[in-house]
Structure 1
Amino acid sequence: MWSALTFITLMTLAIDSMVPGIEIIVSAIEDHLPRLSKKQSWAVKCVVILSIALFGLIYISEGGIYVLTLFDWFVIFPSIAVFAILECLVVGWLYGTQRLQDAIDAMWGKRIPRVFELCMKYVCPLLFLVVFAYSLYAYRPPKYGDYNFPGWATIIGWMISLVSILPIPIVFTWKVYRAPGTSLVEKLKRAIKPKKCWVPSSQEEPPYTAVLQPML
């Protein structure tokens, strides 16, 4: 009985861990296709889940443990540290903590503590940069037990790692190219300048303090 309960616990934990990733994909598709009906929305969810299930069959094949090791070796490094550094820089410096404070105040009716602003602008980027630098210093070629992966597998691993990072400079370059301006500096300034299109739907609408009160 305890073996069955342990297996069920691990299975539900795995399902729960997959829900946020699936929701991100489904939400991105539905944002681009806002006219989807409920049936079409369910069809999108089914297609996404089925695709993930089919890709997951690779991991339970005879050589699946080597594929899993390769993914596990490169899928987090160095993308997570790069994303974290960029998010802190974009929110803390480009968008600005003052605009963030105004947005939170408009939605929540409260302002975040000053220490959070300092962490977002200075502490967190520095710590993530240290983690990123140490990850590069401590990098070792992938291996599973006594088996060392060949060079072509390492190249595939780096391609796996870069596939989530490359869209950032590509989209950034495209946005700078499409930005109005006569010089590169002017285009760059306009591209990184936050837009003023976001405004509250109603100035008289009360903040959702009742909903977010337990977060205090």
Structure 2
Amino acid sequence: MMPVPHLWAVLLFLMLITAVFDSIFGMIETVTSCIIDQFPRQLLKRRVLVNIITGLFFFLTGLPLTMNGGIYLFQLGDWYFALFALLFGALFECISICWIYGTDRFARDIYFMTGRNVSVVLRVLWTITIPLFVTIAFLALLTQYSAPAYGDGYKYSKEAIACGIFVGMLPVMAMVAAGIVAVAYRDGSLLQRLAASLKPSANWGPYEEDTRDRYRMKPYIYPSTWWQKFKENITGRNDDFSV
């Protein structure tokens, strides 16, 4: 009904394509960066190959979603991923980076990577606002939980719900397993191993040698109290870490 309908049809699908690219870019980059960070010397110069293999893997595993029962698989996975993995992962990420690793130390790392200081607004969002709102959303979803359904009254079987819960909990179980391994392979008592697992390893730092040397000229010292840590997370330290 609009003038030049073919133009609007083309623009609509171009908009959809760019929206898909924008949405999937973050997911692909997160996975490939994690893989490359684990084996930097072998894979850093082969980033294009890693991207291609990761994209093919996602393509093959996504094919079942294009079949007749794909919408049911999508609804089941989306139901529990949004409930467990997404919000719990976001909350755990905020806590681990801002309150365990430290927002101020994270800001220091960003400076070494980009040459820019992190503003107070971003520090407040990362440290307080985002964890608070994610916690509220997570609790609201748990209190309003209902079994998944699709269309006009279609209800999933108990077996399907169990599979959905298991798949939705996989990222959470992976984080718990990684934490157990990090604690188990350390020396000392349980509390000592737990405290040691919450700090970066001795070889933590930039990959490039000259940047690594600059990074280690001023080793980061954690605050002695929670109040001091909170204050530094928001305002930063007075010393210049630009070295």
Residue 164 of structure 1: aligned partner? 171
Equivalent-residue separation in structure 2 for 1:83 and 1:172 (angstroms): 14
| Secondary structure at 1:201 match in 2 | helix
Contact 1:78 1:135 in 2 (8 A): no
Match of 1:83 in 2: 89
Q: What is the CA distance between 1:135 and its match in structure 2? A: 0.9
Matched, 1:201 2:220: no
CA apart distance, 1:184: 0.8
1:33 Cα deviation (Å)?
Answer: 6.2
Q: CA deviation at 1:147?
A: 0.4
Asked whether the equivalents of residues 94 and 194 of structure 1 are also in contact (C-alpha less than 8 Å), the reply is no
Moved more, 102-111 or 89-98: 102-111
Number of equivalenced pairs:
202
Q: 1:193 to 1:48 in 2, by over 3 A?
A: closer
Structure 2 residue 158 is matched with structure 1 residue 151: yes
Matching residue of 1:191: 197
User: C-alpha distance in 1, partners of 2:91/2:183?
Assistant: 20
Shift of 1:28: 3.3
CA–CA distance in 1 between the matches of 2:13 and 2:116? 44
1:29 aligns with 2:35: yes
Structure 2 regions of 5+ residues with no counterpart?
A: 1-5, 216-243
In structure 2, what is the Cα distance between the partners aligned to 1:37 and 1:169?
28
Query: Structure 1: which amino acid aligns with 2:108?
Result: D
Partner SS state of residue 164, structure 1: helix
| Structure 1 letter corresponding to 2:63 | L
RMSD after superposition: 2.8
* Aligned-pair identity (%): 28
Which aligned pairs between 1:1-216 and structure 2 lie closer than 5 A?
1=6, 2-31=8-37, 32=39, 34-36=41-43, 42-108=48-114, 110-145=116-151, 146-181=153-188, 183-195=189-201, 197-198=204-205, 200-201=211-212, 203=214
Are the structure 2 counterparts of residues 119 and 18 from structure 1 closer, same or farther at C-alpha, using a change threshold of 3 Å? closer
Give the unaligned 5+ runs of structure 1. Answer: 205-216
Q: Tell me if structure 1 keeps the 8 A contact 2:43–2:50.
A: no
Query: Which amino acid in 2 is paired with 1:25?
Result: V
Listed one character per residue, the Cα deviations across residues 65-97 of structure 1 (whole Å, up to 9, x for unaligned) are 111211221222222221222222222221123
Aligned-residue offset at 1:41? 5.3
> Aligned equivalents of 2:91 and 2:47: distance in 1?
34
**AA paired with 2:162?**
I
**C-alpha distance in 2, partners of 1:37/1:175?**
25
Residues 28/100 of structure 1: CA separation in 2 closer, same or farther (3 Å cut): closer
CA positional deviation for 1:49: 2.4
CA distance in 2, matches of 1:43, 1:116: 34
The 1-side partners of 2:53 and 2:104 are apart by: 41
Deviation at 1:108, TM superposition (A): 4.9
